[in-house]
C-alpha cells in the first residue's frame, strides 16, 4: 500500500503549478491539504486527516524551496538579439537534405546567420532574410512551415549550470508566464537560443533581463 507521503509527492510532482507554488511558498497549505485530501485517500485507500496532510506538505515545501534557492543562483553571462530572421521546415528527404546543406555552406561562407535543426522526419532551419533568394532557389518542395518574422535571443551561461537540473526550464518558465510563444529553440554546450516572433522580442528580452542576473 502506498504511503501518504509518497502519494502527496506523486501528486505534487505530476503538477507543475503545485511544484511552483510550493517552491515559491505562495500556497496556503491548509487549503491545499483540503483540496488534495480526496486524491490522497484514493491513492492510499484510507482516510487521512487534513492536519497530517498539511504537515506532509510543509516538509515537501521545504524541499521544493531548497531546489528553488539553488535555481535562483542561475545567471546569464551574455544575451544577444538577432533580428530579421526567417524559418522554414521541410520533410527530411535526401533532396531536401542536400539542398539545405548547400544553403548552409553558402551562408557560412558569407558569414550569414544560419542554424539547422534535424529530427527523424523533419528539418528546420533559421536564417538571415538576406539569404531568402538563395533559399528559394535551392528549395523546390513546398515547406511544411514558413515564418519570415522571426527574432532570436541567444543566452550564454557558465558551463557549471550544465549540472543544475532545470536551468533551461527556468528560462522557459519565465517566458511562459508572460504568455510568450516560442517558435523554435536550439542549444549547444553553454548556449540556449530562443526563436520567437518579432512582436514578442522586446518583452522576452526585458523579462529575462529582469528575472536573471546578467554577468558583466
Q: What is the pLDDT of residues 123-173, one digit of tens each?
A: 999 999 999 999 999 999 999 999 999 999 999 998 988 887 778 888 998
Give the tens place of pLDDT for each residue, 205-216.
999 998 887 775
Contact 125, 88 (CB under 8 A): yes
pLDDT for the residue 170: 83
Note if the pTM is more than 0.75.
no
pLDDT for the residue 4: 86
Give the tens place of pLDDT for each residue, 35-45.
999 999 999 99
- What's the rounded Cα separation, in Å, for the pair 130 and 112? 8
Amino acid at each position: 500500500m502506498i504511503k501518504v507521503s509518497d502519494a502527496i509527492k506523486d501528486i505534487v510532482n505530476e503538477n507543475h503549478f503545485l511544484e511552483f507554488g510550493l517552491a515559491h511558498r505562495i500556497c496556503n497549505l491548509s487549503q491545499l491539504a483540503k483540496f488534495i485530501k480526496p486524491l490522497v485517500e484514493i491513492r492510499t485507500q484510507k482516510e487521512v486527516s487534513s492536519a497530517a496532510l498539511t504537515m506532509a506538505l510543509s516538509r515537501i515545501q521545504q524541499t521544493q524551496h531548497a531546489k528553488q534557492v539553488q535555481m535562483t543562483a542561475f545567471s546569464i553571462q551574455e544575451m544577444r538579439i538577432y533580428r530579421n530572421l526567417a524559418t522554414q521546415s521541410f520533410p527530411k528527404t535526401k533532396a531536401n537534405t542536400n539542398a539545405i546543406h548547400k544553403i548552409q555552406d553558402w551562408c557560412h561562407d558569407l558569414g550569414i546567420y544560419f542554424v539547422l535543426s534535424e529530427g527523424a522526419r523533419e528539418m528546420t532551419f533559421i536564417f538571415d532574410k538576406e539569404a531568402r533568394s538563395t533559399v528559394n532557389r535551392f528549395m523546390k518542395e513546398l515547406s511544411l512551415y514558413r515564418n519570415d518574422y522571426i527574432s532570436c535571443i541567444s543566452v550564454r551561461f557558465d558551463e557549471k549550470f550544465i549540472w543544475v537540473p532545470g536551468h533551461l526550464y527556468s528560462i522557459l518558465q519565465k517566458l511562459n508566464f508572460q504568455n510568450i510563444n516560442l517558435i523554435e529553440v536550439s542549444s549547444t554546450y553553454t548556449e540556449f537560443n530562443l526563436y520567437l516572433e518579432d512582436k514578442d522580442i522586446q518583452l522576452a528580452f526585458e523579462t529575462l533581463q529582469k528575472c536573471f542576473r546578467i554577468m558583466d
